[in-house]
Amino acid sequence: MYTKCALLLIVWSISIVINCTQTKGQFITINDPLLKYALNDRERPLMSTDSSSLDTIAAATKTGTLQLQYYGFTTVTELKYFKNINFFQTVDNNISTLPNFTGFTNLKFIDLRGNPWSDFTQLDPIKNQLNMILLRRIPSGNEIKDFSFLTSSFPNLKSIQFTNFNAEILPDFSLFSGLTQIKINNNKLTFTDLIPLTTLPSYATILDVMPQNILTNDTSIQIFRNTSFTLTTPIDNGLSGIYYELYKGTTLIDSSTSNSFTFTNVTTSDSGIYHIKIKSTHPFFAGNYLQTGKYTLTTAACPTLSSVDVEVSEACDLVPVKFTSINSTSSYQADTISLKDKIRNKIFYFSLQNSKEIPVGSYDLYIKNTNGCAYNYPNFKNISLAKKCNDIFSPNGDGITDDFFIELIGSATIRNKQGIIVRELAVPAYWDGNDQNGNPVEIGIYAITFSDHKNEVRKVTVLR
């Protein structure tokens, strides 16, 4: 009798050891403390007695909804064991990567609103069975401009929501039959995108598309008094049934079927902050509108020129000069562009992008716009011959190379071959071939040195 009882005790002990070993193998540690808290809060029977581990076998038996909202957890790898749920709902957490959905054959509904997740390839194992996908971008999440990837590879979608992604491209919703909800508000969709949706069956009950986010960036524009200026938006231009309203602050200024508003004879009172509302006559959009960003207009008598760009080509006689742009950052229109030889007082007139050949010299720049605003740039540029040219001039009064232009700044000393100083000049200046007393120098080679350019020596040949 005692032997039989001992044997039963041994067998029972072995059974306990085996069962304990099996039970220990069913649990997996939850690493994310917030996910651990969420599971203990919502799925306590599936957790270990010390609240640190998930019973993976028990998790696999759960059906219905796995609802873990507003906890802020990041890592959801361990949720891959809930293979028999049909609704995965993890709203307003901090998920960037989904669990592996391979084997989730019953999963039809997924709600990921308020997470930074955006890798849609992670839905591949379940995309052909999904009935619903709900997404809402958080401020720190990625913008998704193009949702056209939602195609026939998601054949059973009935409820589709993606909001606040600043999306600009929609999927082809006609690919999905039996749609019950399309919620796509707070993106950057225009009536060009939205009006075609009104051809979908039961569109009035399934569409939720307004409001949309501000469609354009804020812009600062300087306009000049007594000129005309046109404010234009490219949104839905040419689309039937569209009209535009121009607001200054909250005051309606003008309404038009044109996407442009012209200010004529601009005055100081035209300064202000404007925006344009875009509206549709389609009855579904009654009371709704799209809106541009702010246009901050400031008026000024004359613009500030930010740049004057000029090209000077190499030459050994007259030098080609071309003004390529003036004030490239604004709509400046030049009426007069002129270079004045500050030594000879000769003026040369230019127009933008047209080249003109002028003599070497030191030039002041003068610009006037069509509104009468004038700009002077003293000492704008020294125009010189190319370095490859022979420095030769013939001061004989025939009007051809009668003087030699010295473009460097400071003072210059001219010496003959014997090293004797024949002339000193404040430069830039023209040397007329005369010495300090006004007498013509002899034919020959002369060396020019400079007070501010010690290493610079210029040699010039004088011919008669």
Q: Is the pLDDT of residue 400 over 60?
A: yes
Query: What pLDDT was estimated at residue 464?
Result: 81
Q: Is the pLDDT of residue 138 over 50?
A: yes
What's the pLDDT band for 117 if we cut at 50, 70, 90? very high
Helix (H, G, I), strand (E, B) or coil at 4: helix
Query: What pLDDT was estimated at residue 329?
Result: 55
Cα–Cα nearest to 380, from 321, 352, 325, 340: 340
Mean pLDDT of the chain: 90
Contacts of 55-59 spanning 24+ positions with Cβ under 8 A: 55/26, 55/27, 56/26, 56/27, 56/28, 56/81, 57/26, 58/26
Cα separation, 404 vs 242, in Å, equals 68
Residue at 19: amino acid letter: N
What value does the mean pLDDT take over residues 49-70? 96
**CB contact at 8 A, 133 and 161:** yes
Q: Is the pLDDT of residue 265 over 90?
A: no
Cα separation, 428 vs 446, in Å, equals 17
Q: Per the confidence metrics, is the pTM higher than 0.75?
A: no
Place of tokens 């009007």: 399
Query: What pLDDT was estimated at residue 205?
Result: 97
Query: What pLDDT was estimated at residue 328?
Result: 64
Contacts of 452-460 spanning 24+ positions with Cβ under 8 A: 452/408, 452/409, 452/410, 452/411, 453/408, 453/410, 456/408, 458/391, 458/406, 459/391, 460/391, 460/392, 460/393, 460/404, 460/431
pLDDT tens readout for residues 420-464: 999 999 998 999 999 999 999 999 999 999 998 888 888 899 988
pLDDT tens readout for residues 327-359: 865 556 777 999 999 888 999 999 988 999 999
Cα–Cα nearest to 293, from 319, 316, 274, 268: 274
